[in-house]
Chains A and B, each alone.
Chain A
Amino acid sequence: MNDVLRHAWTVARKDLVLEFRTRTALLSAVVFTALVLTVFNFGRDPTAVATIDLAPSILWVTFSFAAMLALNRAFQLELENQALEGLLVSPISRTSLYWGKLLANLVFVAVVEAVGLPLFVLFFDVPVGRVLVPLIGVIALATIGFVAVGTLFSAMVIRTRFAELMLPVLLLPFLIPPLTGAVQVTAKLLAGRPLSEVEGWLKLLAAYDIVFVALATLLFPTTVDE
């Protein structure tokens, strides 16, 4: 078990070092997030619907797009440099490979979200101060769900034609449960409702994460084996 985690961290670190050295993908994702938030501002009528009602949806649609962007580039690097073959013949197990990729993707998306959330608060004047910790908790739960399935699928689509189109098409149905839960919980939190009211949703989010991380771990080797 220790080996698996260690190797996973090695894989993750390699990816992250690469990302932060070039920074292009990261910057693009951050800029993209800011732009999406801006588009949302102009895509609504502030006199018709109160911002606070739309805010959760805006936040989560934005985060979904950002996650999708992050996932798209996930295996690109490997494929471009034939590095995937190298990884596969190394003593690193498939499980470590998946967990490493998952971790790297999570960090990437987390950075984008860490920039996106303050921007969101700024642009839409949303009071998150009191509920910041639970909000970050929900963001973490939902993001794990997105990225777990997304990492698995991006490993598959990278070897197909129309990869950039296939990933959203395949992934979006799988984003709906975490997305729905995240929006509901965010809405309740922003409205100042007690956490007990969203217990059901939180359990659903957690269950989703557990089931799909386990399933993806189980199925990942199939997608990279020859």
Chain B
Amino acid sequence: MNLVHRGRWITLLGLVLLALVYVRALAFTPVERFQGPAQKIFYVHVPAAWSAMLAMGLVGLCSILYLVLKDARFDRFAAASAEVGTAFSLVMLTTGPIWAKPIWGTWWTWDARLTLTLFLFFLFVGYLLLRGVVTDAGLRARYSAVLGICGLLLLPFIHLSVYFFRTLHPQPIVLKPSSPSLPGSMLATLLFSFGVFTLLYLGFVIQRYALSRLREERGGSHG
């Protein structure tokens, strides 16, 4: 299938470029003075966050479009985006604590970033679980769309809740994990990584979408 192959090539390209990001980040980007080498986790954690957010945003958008236009392709894309988003959320959830431990002294803290990450993960997983327990394709598409839209709207409230919570209970922060202005070399690495993670999102989502379409064509009702 053409779409599958296209997806595969994009993914392969993305992975090769990811290796280049690794090389650049690990060997050719300066070590941050106060945080040490662990700061470099930044270059994979933040782009993964971006990809997960992108995935969620598209799940929400496609959910709305599906309900309005009733085109099954939007549902198929939303489902693909949710699965891909889960993968990137997993990256965030593993790199987040690994980064937090040396910088903040604790594996977990209920700060805005980690908490939102956790919620994104729960929303993606909930979405996929819901799709798993509904057998009728039309019903599944409608239910998923409802959940997708609700999930998207939940995120600002989670953010606000965490923000209010933290202004009441300031956590001891040893070092700031990300400085507002990055020196040129670090910024370049970060931007490069953003591009690569976006490319990976694209490659993954195209393949996953193609997979759904293939399954439907072969007669299964599961997408």
Contacts and interface: CB of A to CB of B under 8 A. Distances in A.
Whether the complex brings A and B within 8 Å at their CB atoms is answered yes
B171 interface: no
Interface string A1-36: 000000000000000000000000000000000000
Interface string B143-154: 101110111011
A169 B147 CA distance: 12
A166 B129 contact: yes
A166 B143 CA distance: 12
B102 to A, nearest CB: 28
Contacts of A156: 130, 143, 146-147
Contact of A173 (B119, B160, B164): B119
B129 A169 contact: yes
Contact of A219 (B150, B154, B168): B150
Contact of B133 (A162, A184, A225): A162
Interface string A160-173: 11100010011011
Q: Is the interface of A mostly helix, strand, loop or mixed?
A: helix
B161 A180 contact: yes
Contacts of A204: 157, 160-161, 164
A211 B153 contact: yes
Interface string A199-219: 011001001100110010001
Contacts of B134: 159-160
A166 B135 CA distance: 14
Interface string A31-46: 0000000000000000
